Every structure is written in C-alpha cells, then in structure tokens.
Amino acid sequence: MNIKFKLITYIIVTLMFMACTDDNHTNKTIPHPKEDLISEKVDALIKIMTLKEKIGQMNQYNGFWDVTGPVPNEGDAEEKYEHLKNGLVGSMLSVRGTKAVRAVQKIAVEESRLGIPLIIGFDVIHGYKTLSPIPLAEAASWDLEAIERSAQVAAAEASAAGINWTFAPMVDISRDPRWGRVMEGAGEDPFLGSKIAVARVRGFQGDDLSAVNTIAACAKHFAAYGFSEAGKEYNTVDIGNSTLHNIALPPFKATVDANVKTLMNAFNELDGVPATGNKYLLRDILKNKWGFKGFVISDWASIKELVVWGYAKDNKDAAKMAALAGSDMDMESHIYVFELEQLVKDGSIDEEIIDDAVSRILTVKFELGLFDDPYRYCDEIREKEVINSPEHLDAVLDMAKKSIVLLKNENHLLPLKKEGQNIALIGALANEKNSPLGSWRIASKDSTGVSVLEGMQNYKGNHLVYKKGTDVTIGSTQFINELNINNTDKSGFKDAIDAAKKADVVVMVLGEHGFQSGEARSRTDIDLPGVQQELLEEVYKVNKNIVLVLNNGRPLTINWADKHIPAILETWQLGTQAGNAVAQVLYGDYNPSGKLPMTFPRNVGQIPIYYNYKNTGRPISDTNNPNLVFWSHYSDVENTPLYPFGHGLSYTTFKYENLVLNKKTFDINESVHISVNVTNTGKVTGKEVVQLYIRDLVASTTRPVKELKEFELIELQAGETKTVNFVLNKASLGFYNNQGDFIIEPGEFEIFVGGSSYTSLDTRFELELF
C-alpha cells in the first residue's frame, strides 16, 4: 500500500475515532457490525472530500485508451485522463486484464489527491472467457443450483481478470420474442424470473463480496424494458400499473431482497417519464419503499438521452433530473462531472443528494475490499490459473446439457443409435464454432466454441457425412447492419439433398446466428432466416427421418417444422461446450430435461403471447361451435401457442396422479399444503420439472388464468414414484394492487399441477377470514 493510501486510511480512522468519542455518540461502548464500520468509514471519507471529488465518484468512463501504452495527449481522451488522475472518475468499464486494470487503478490511487480506488465494471453476461449458455437457455434448465454455479464461474474468471462488477443479471420480463434481448433474460414469467435472478446474484456476489472470486452484481434494466412496444429496441413502454407491479417489478424486488449491490436504469420511458429520470421508480419504489442500499447506474449515455426524449431541455437540465430522480452514477454521458457542481452551487440540487449517491458508491467499494487493497483483483498468476480451467469447462458443459429442451420426438427417433447408422449432418450452423458462443461475450475469443460436427465426431460408431446446404453468416463486424440474414445461396442444396437420400437419419442444425439476437437485434420475422426453411423442406422430400436441432436466441416460428419434422431439439446458443452438449443429448448420454421459459408462437401475429393471460369478458371457448363468433380469438389461427411455457419432453415419460390438499378451507394466514405423485413410466432415468400454478378466481383486480407459484426439479429411475410436496403461503396467494401494495384476499382458488403450463391435474380450495 502506498504512502498516500496509508495517509487517507489514517485520516478516516481518526475521524471515526473522533465521532466515537463525541458525547452525543450513542454506541461508543458497543462493538459495531461490519456494515456499521463501513458506514462510519464512508461518512469520514465524505467529510474530507471536495464537492468536485464527490461528483467525480458519480462519473463512469469507458476504457478510452490502451492503458498499457502511452498516455493520450489530445482530444476527449486527454481530458478523461486528467479527470482520472484528479479523482474525478469513480468507475471505469470495459477495462479488462490484470495489467490494464492495475494501470488505471494505479493512476486513481497513486496520482489523485485522495487515492480513492476505482470500481471496474464489465458486461459479464453468460461468462467471461469460458462461456455458459445464453441466459434464456440457462433459464430453460429451471435448475437454480446450476444457474448459480454458472454465475460463480463467470465471477471467478472476471475477477481473475481484474473486474469487480458485472452489468448482470438482466431480469427484464418479456412476452415478445421479436425483442432481441430476450436472449439475455429469463423469459416471460415473474416467479421463475425472480428465482433465477436471485440465483445469479448469489452466484456473482457469493457470501462475501470482499472475496477475490466474487463480483458485485447489477440488476437491469429498471424497469419494464422488456415491454418495449412491437419488440423494437430502445422503444417506448406503455403498460398499466397491474402489469408493472405484478409482472415487471417482482424480479427486481427479489434481487433487492437478495442484497444486489447495484441496479441499472432502463432505456425506455414509463408513463411518459424516461426511466433514468423517473423519481417514482428510483426514489419512491426502489430506495424508499424497498429500502435498496446499493447504487443506481445509468445505462450507456441514458442521462444525456433525457434531452433526446424531450424530457430535459439541455445537459444541465438532464443532470438535475437524473440526480434528483435517484440515478447515482453516470455511465458515459459526461454530464454529471461537468454539470452537477454548478447545480449544487446555485441551489438547484441539495448537496445531500450528492452525498447520498457518493455514500452508496463508496460503500460498495469498501464492501469489495478495494480500500483494503486496491490491487486485490490484479493477480496475474491467478488470472492464468483460473480462466478456461478444466473445472470451468466441466461446469459450462453441465449447464449446457441442462438447458436443452426436447420439443418433439415422434416414434422415438431420438436418441440416435451409437452404431450402425448412416447419418447426414446438414446446416452451416452444424460446423459453426463462433455462433454457438451467442451474443454478449465480448471478452471471449471468437470461434472457440465446440461445433455440433465436432461433438458428433466424438461418437465413432456411425458413418457421419456433413454438408453445409446454405450459409447463415455475418460480415466482418458484430453489428446488426453487417449481418447477412437474407442469404439466398442455394448452391449447396444438391449436395445436402444427395447426402440425405443415402442417410438413415438426417440431423439438420438450423436457426439464427449468435449475433442475430441480443441488444439492437430486434426482428419482425422470427422464422428461420435466409433460405433455411426451403432447405428443410427440400431435404424432407427425400428423407422424413429428420432431427431438427435449433440454434437460436429467441423463440422462433417453426409451424411447418412442428407439423412435419418428427424430432425437434431446442438447443439455443450453448456457449463454449455447445457441440459436446448437443451430441451427448442426441446420442442419449444425457436425457434432456429442459422446459421452455418462453412461449413459442405459431406466427408473429400472435405476439405478444404468454401463458398467464387474463380471462377477458368473452374468454377463449373450449367448444368447436363454428357459429360462435363473438369471443376472444383470431379468425385465421387458433389461440393456442405452438409450444406453451413450461413445455419440454424427455426420453422417458411421466405420469401425474393423486393431487391432494391437506384440507379444502383455509384461514387467510394459514399455509396450503399440496402433494402430488409423479411416476417415471418409461424405461430410462429422467428428470422432470414439476410445476404448480394457481388461479385466483375472483379478486379486486382481475387475475391471470394461471400463475406459476412453485416448481421442483426431480429425478426418477424407471418405474419410480415420488411424492412431491408444495407449500403455498401468503406470499404465494397474494398480489400487488394498482398502488403497488401487496395484498391477499379471501376467495376461491384453483390449483394446477403438471409438466407444463398445460397442466394435467387440478383442484380447488377456499381462503377465508375466520
């Protein structure tokens, strides 16, 4: 530790001692818990900071030069460097690697007046170098322990590279697969989304944030970003209070209860107010009602965008609105650092607002242990040992296998035989090593994924022939305007068709390239891109024994495939070990157990489509009466989805029976105990996600026809029966009213239990006020 750092530490300790010996200090003889000690250190440090230095802590810059090279001497980079060494930068993002992080940290700690360390942020979305499946795929596992372990792997590698803060998890609920960022979240359901959000926060932050293998998490995007109109990125949001409080906000509330350290603003507006300047969201709900103790960061330049929205007249006005609303740190708008000081001096903002924001930021830095050792994340030996370790490769392979969903399997076409078959493997994505890595993997090296071809080549007993058929390619960059999504080259059709003619089974790997979903990758057509659909149909004409392996970052409209193709595997984009995971499922070394976290529509005209819809005054009819016209339906397609939320098959089958409640009438304060027997009626061991849904039949605001409230992942041997027990309490049976207050009301409830949202068993009970 350098002399300046020791001096600042001495000053803080001295100020704390002075406070503790004050006559008005009420706890001078009582030992302080860790959080109280940190609070006193933060207060002591703020006392010796100038207003400019405080505002500097609220300023975050992107990596603006190669920090291992010469210092910039012109333009914007020179100014940012001056800010860095003068203590006017609180955080940097996209600086990675121990050498680079040590270099910027050294400037902040050893050249600024107070030597306050930086917090280093990075988009660690589904891994750092060793990549897990995209988050939507992980959600399909419904395996909370595996998801937490995946986040632990990401945290271990990122922290080994000098990073101590990730801009994840994204906990936005979305019902629109046109929105490219569905790949980054957990799907359409707030209960499942909340459970997964907490698992990811725990995985990133661990039990001790100061441990060198943990990083601070950031729940984003607050709030309702997943409801962007028409699924178009950065678009406006217009939803009612019931949807806001019961669907959009619960995963954020769950992360706050799990002690998430930071939240990120959304790009959208809500009720005409951009989220970054939305006091109702940030102060009234998040900080006051929920008691959030961490800090809020803007999304990239979203404070400056308050002007573009037409909500602020200029940058000064934007700084005022964002700070007063509760945005604590400015990501790359360059506005706080230039505007806030004058706003305080002229009385537009009380300095207490600044102190509150800075206190939150400094608290996280203390909790990370950066004041104990600002270089704690800069161990080059650990960086080499941890990243891409065999243990991490095993963990992401396990996660990848658990993420695969078997959508269809007629005539037991899967699993494939391990010997004696001629197999034609068709599709450009089958030989892809880059696309399986998915979007949002900016630290990973391109083309380091295992392809499906490589995975299948590990099985030597069959004759395997590969033909590309057609391209699904990208250009020279990752940006959407470079994506070649309309490829019309059919020159490879003939070779693929000839191979299919000679094959016993055809495996076709089709879908989206990994960069066709993600941020700014909204699509109006979510069919198979290019001429892949035509290739599929041409191959089907010569060989109907087709296994369709889907690679995609969102639900696709595959109505034709569902009608014609006997076996369909949803494999998403599975990360570093993708091809090995797919091959092990194809050949039966792993029995698929995934369940869909999002509904698959029949066509885009059904979107938004989701399982927990409202009944309406003219509900969906169960009859086939052709004369029945005036009810909620389409005239050209049935209301049902292609594949419902929670759907997923196995190489075995499961039978549900004997759904039992401990009684039929309950006091409103009692817990409801439910049991169901589940039997593996097939010939192999398998896992099943047992799902429990409720319906509140009459309420002060209308409730959905079904709501997921519990689930349990179980494993059963062939012929084995297990009794699965669930308990529903007030938290399970209540809901949020339009003022955002959680309430529970007496009345009749229906219970549904099964292997998807299309459940097989149901019963009812009454909740009363005794």
Q: Dump pLDDT digits (tens) for 450-465.
A: 999 999 999 999 999 9
Query: Taking the domains of the chain in order of start, what are their residue ranges?
Result: 49-383, 405-593, 654-768
What pLDDT score was predicted for residue 204?
Answer: 98
What pLDDT score was predicted for residue 29?
Answer: 38
pLDDT digit string, tens, across residues 675-721: 999 999 999 999 999 999 999 999 999 999 999 999 999 999 999 99
Report whether pLDDT(203) > 70: yes
Report whether pLDDT(582) > 60: yes
What pLDDT score was predicted for residue 26?
Answer: 39
> Average pLDDT in the 122-136 region?
98
Read off the pLDDT band of 554 (50, 70, 90).
very high
How much is the pTM? 0.95
Q: Which residue has the higher pLDDT, 458 or 12?
A: 458
What pLDDT score was predicted for residue 124?
Answer: 98
**Residue 769's CB: how many other CB atoms inside 10 A?**
8
Q: Which residue has the higher pLDDT, 5 or 434?
A: 434
> Average pLDDT in the 184-190 region?
98
What pLDDT score was predicted for residue 478?
Answer: 42
> Average pLDDT in the 87-106 region?
96
Q: Which residue has the higher pLDDT, 14 or 759?
A: 759
Is there a contact between 517 and 182 (Cβ–Cβ < 8 Å)?
A: yes
What pLDDT score was predicted for residue 201?
Answer: 98
Give the sign of the dihedral formed by CA 49, CA 301, CA 272, CA 319: positive
155 secondary structure, DSSP code: H
Q: Which CATH number among 3.30.830.10, 2.60.40.1120, 3.40.50.720, 3.40.50.1700 corresponds to the domain 405-593? A: 3.40.50.1700
SS3 294: coil
pLDDT digit string, tens, across residues 565-578: 999 999 999 999 99
DSSP 582-634: HHHHHTTSS------SSPBPSSGGG-S--SS-B--SSPPPSS--TT--SSS--
Domain 654-768, what fold?
A: Immunoglobulin-like (2.60.40)
What pLDDT score was predicted for residue 19?
Answer: 54
> Average pLDDT in the 238-253 region?
98
pLDDT digit string, tens, across residues 322-361: 999 999 999 999 999 999 999 999 999 999 999 999 999 9
Report whether pLDDT(104) > 80: yes
Q: Locate all alpha helices (DSSP H) within 290-350, ordered by sequence.
A: 305-309, 315-325, 336-345
Domain 49-383, what fold?
A: TIM Barrel (3.20.20)
Task: Name residue 296's beta-bridge partners.
Answer: 263
**Rg (alpha carbons) of the chain, rounded to whole number:** 27
SS3 344: helix
Which of the residues 299, 317, 328, 398 is marked catalytic? 299
Q: How far apart are CA 445 and CA 439, in angstroms?
A: 12
SS3 342: helix
Q: What percent of the chain has pLDDT over 90?
A: 88
What pLDDT score was predicted for residue 28?
Answer: 38
What pLDDT score was predicted for residue 574?
Answer: 98
504 belongs to the catalytic site: no
Phi-psi region for residue 194, left (φ > 0), alpha (ψ -120 to 50) or beta? alpha
C-alpha dist (Å) from residue 522 to 176, 178, 230, 660: 10, 5, 9, 45
Report whether pLDDT(1) > 80: no
pLDDT digit string, tens, across residues 382-394: 999 999 999 999 9
Read off the pLDDT band of 308 (50, 70, 90).
very high
> Average pLDDT in the 620-629 region?
64
Read off the pLDDT band of 667 (50, 70, 90).
very high
Give the sign of the dihedral formed by CA 219, CA 225, CA 227, CA 232: negative
